Amino acid sequence: MRSRKLTCASINFIVVLLSQSVHSQLQVGFYGNSCSLAEFIVKDEVRNSFFRDQGVTAGLVRLHFHDCFVRGCDASVLIDSTPSNKAEKDSPANNPSLRGFEVIDNAKARLEAICKGLVSCADIVAFAARDSVELTGGLSYGVPAGRRDGKISLASETLTDLPPPSFNVDQLTKFFSNKGFTQEEMVTLSGAHTIGRSHCTSFSNRLYNFNGTTNQDPSLDAIYASQLKQQCPQGNTNPNLVVPMDPSSPAITDAGYYTNILANRGLFTSDQTLMTNAATANQVSQNARSTMLWRSKFAAAMVKMGQLDVLMGNGGEIRSNCRVINS
């Protein structure tokens, strides 16, 4: 028990160090002098939305993931499509599943009213993700800020820059490695699936059309599969039909995701595949045993993810409307 406490304490210390110094150009408390209420206002909007709809927090965490993995953390995921360009948010990977845009819009409108042209949409997304983790029971962490907003958003780039739910462990490991993450960080970040919901279309092949020899994925717990079939009937054409990612605690950032995987109840192929590799299976077991340990690792991994290919200095811009590039 003592060693576990020491481990958790050590990781918490690492989270603090990462928050402060992983990327020298980004700074925790970046808006302390220029717009001191920036983080408070974002948190207030996230909290207000959470009280209306607890599921929005999972949407905001996913929004940050999908922003950072395509072109870096530059808020390109927020840009609306135009007649001449289909933007990231309208790709099949994001539409209709991605949500939380209105929370970012509301926070941005309030910030523009008191700190015009100072707070980037990319930083708002990063703050909102952190606040969502905290509101759902995860560890809070300092968000290094100072990102600027990108001017390009292409739906086509989501096809290669976002991992599909059908990936196996080798594909996931390679994909995350290409983004600068270790295999352990990949397993840690996958735990974001402990909150939120999924559309039936993201996993229905595991129920009805797994491969040429079997309809149902044999790695899926039979009782769980039966429940999913009731929630997602074969042949259903409703694109908005959803199920919770972690039925036991869909709005709590805990280790339930890993417990589910150990019980063969990972919803996606990309979830359950973590048990097919000795190293990742061991990490799943460790995380399942200690929610606190995983929460600490997750906070550190979120800080690292928030540094992906950021625009700073004279790069990009500070959008006045997060949905539209400045004219």
Which residues contribute to the annotated binding site for Ca(2+)? 67, 70, 72, 74, 76, 88, 194, 246, 254
Residue 83 DSSP SS3: coil
CB burial string 233-270: b at 16+ within 10 A, e below: eeeeeeeeebbbbbeebbbbbbbbbbbbbbebbbbbbb
Q: Tokens 């969502």 identify what position?
A: 132
Are the beta carbons of 316 and 151 closer than 8 angstroms? Answer: yes
Binding residues: 67, 70, 72, 74, 76, 88, 163, 193-194, 246, 254
269 vs 127: CA distance, rounded Å: 30
Binding residues for heme b: 193
265 vs 246: CA distance, rounded Å: 9
Is the link from the previous residue into 96 a cis peptide, with omega within 30 of 0? Answer: yes
The amino acid occupying position 296 is S
Active site residues: 66
134 vs 258: CA distance, rounded Å: 19
Cα dihedral 301, 304, 305, 306, rounded to 10, equals 130
- Let me know how many helices (H) and strands (E) the chain has, helices first: 14, 2
Tokens representing residue 300 in the block: 């550190």
Binding residues for substrate: 163
Residue 187 main-chain phi, psi, to 5 deg: -65, -40
CA dist 170 → 177, 183, 273, 277 (Å): 10, 10, 9, 9
